[in-house]
Amino acid sequence: MSMTSKMKALWISLLLLTAMVNAPNCLAKESSASSSTLSPAFSLDDVGMTPWGPIAPGSIGRPRVALALGGGGLRGAAHVGVLRVLRREGIPIDCITGCSIGSVVGGLYCAGMPLETIEAKLLSGQIQRAYAPIWVRSPLLQPIALAVATIRRQPGLSNASRFAKYLDKQLAPYNRRVENVNPRFCALANNLIDGQPYQMLTGNLASAIAVSSALPPVIKPVHTELGDFIDGGLRANVPTTAARNFDPAIVIGVSVTQNIQPTTHKKVRTIKGVADRMTVMGASVIDTYHSQLADITIGPDCNGISIFSTKRSDVVKAIQAGECAAEAALPAIRRQLQKHGMTPANAYNLPAGVRPIGVVPAPNPL
């Protein structure tokens, strides 16, 4: 970067800092959305929060299969690849639990949004921009935004309602209520007040996804009558325990957490370097524990992809990694189905030799 460019960047940063300090709601500015495109009862409070526990899923006439989609920022684009392979192969998925990006992909999919549409929104960066404003995504502006948030005693850089309103608009042609989607869906969140995990099984789907994705300090905790809620991945980044609440015969877990690789002394000589390393180590331990609670774990190789990456190439890489990992897991999945007397055909009550359309009814066109 030339000296002139650096000076321009510094000048812009100073102007932004001044604007942030003087504008009361700058950091919490919500994306505009016309009332005609939002759900009539849209509200972040319109979510049925309940402590973790058994769910009464109802009988489907055969053993149930649950899919637990883990958190991991942009690495979660791999979930699109996993779902694509499972659907292509006719693997039945009756319920999906999700944390963070797992709740984003899983929730949109359960609502009826085609995988191709979800993929397009990730490739274009639309979802990433809606989740994290420019002052969060920019390496130049992020430290300034953090400083302003600290000065103004704010618990985060942006509001969850910004992301929720975006999601609600995207869900307009599909199911907008958690209790109405198919497959069944459950988003997870953690309560800062009582320290306990909660599951969201009813209410506005966009709100449930946004609460499950409220990762501090990027997104402020969501305040409700029950407490202050944040990203569901803190206690169970791969929500296999929540998936077990649906009483399934088979749980398939998908972990997109970066594997622990040896690093260098130079990379852990700064506060940020140490914090990043501790995050990777902690997430790896949590994911390892919860992945062991699944009957099959799919682990896409997303190493090298930052959770806040804005690169289109990283989306492509993650989706391809999800497809490869899911294909590698197919033999184990089929063995589990056979163990419970199922095949991809009879799981859908189809005649032998007839290939099912997919995990859910044929999606609406793009």
Per-residue model confidence as pLDDT tens digits over 253-295: 999 987 777 888 887 887 667 767 777 777 777 777 777 889 9
CA distances from 112 to 185, 246, 362 (A): 12, 20, 9
Q: What is the DSSP string of 224-276?
A: ETTEEEEETHHHHSS-HHHHHTT--SEEEEE--PPPP----GGGGSSHHHHHH
Query: How many residues does the structure list for the chain?
Result: 366
At 253 the pLDDT is 96
Q: Is the peptide bond before 54 cis (omega within 30 degrees of 0)?
A: no
- Tell which residue, 211, 221, 308, 238, has the closest CA to residue 98: 238
Q: What pLDDT, in 10s, does the model give residues 198-252?
A: 999 999 999 999 999 998 878 888 988 889 999 988 888 899 999 999 999 999 9
Query: How large a percentage of the chain has pLDDT more than 90?
Result: 48
Pairing, β 184-191 against β 227-231: antiparallel
- pLDDT confidence of residue 81: 98
What confidence category does residue 51 fall into, taking pLDDT thresholds of 50, 70 and 90?
confident
Give the position of tokens 């989609």: 69
**Residue 47 pLDDT grade (very low, low, confident, very high; cuts 50, 70, 90):** confident
**Overall average pLDDT of the 151-178 stretch:** 85
pTM higher than 0.95, yes or no? no
Place of tokens 């184990």: 332
pLDDT averaged over every residue in the chain: 80
Return the pLDDT at 310: 84
User: Residue 91's pLDDT is what?
Assistant: 94
Is 112:363 a contact under the CB 8 Å cutoff?
A: yes
Q: Is residue 25's pLDDT more than 60?
A: no
DSSP string, 269-306: SSHHHHHHHHHHHHHHHHHHHHHTTSSEEE----TT--
- Helix pair 101-111, 205-212: axis angle to 10 deg: 160
Lowest mean pLDDT, pick from 129-143, 244-258, 312-326: 129-143
Q: What is the pLDDT of residue 5?
A: 55
Residue 109 has pLDDT above 90, yes or no: yes
**Beta pairing class for 227-231 and 250-254:** unpaired
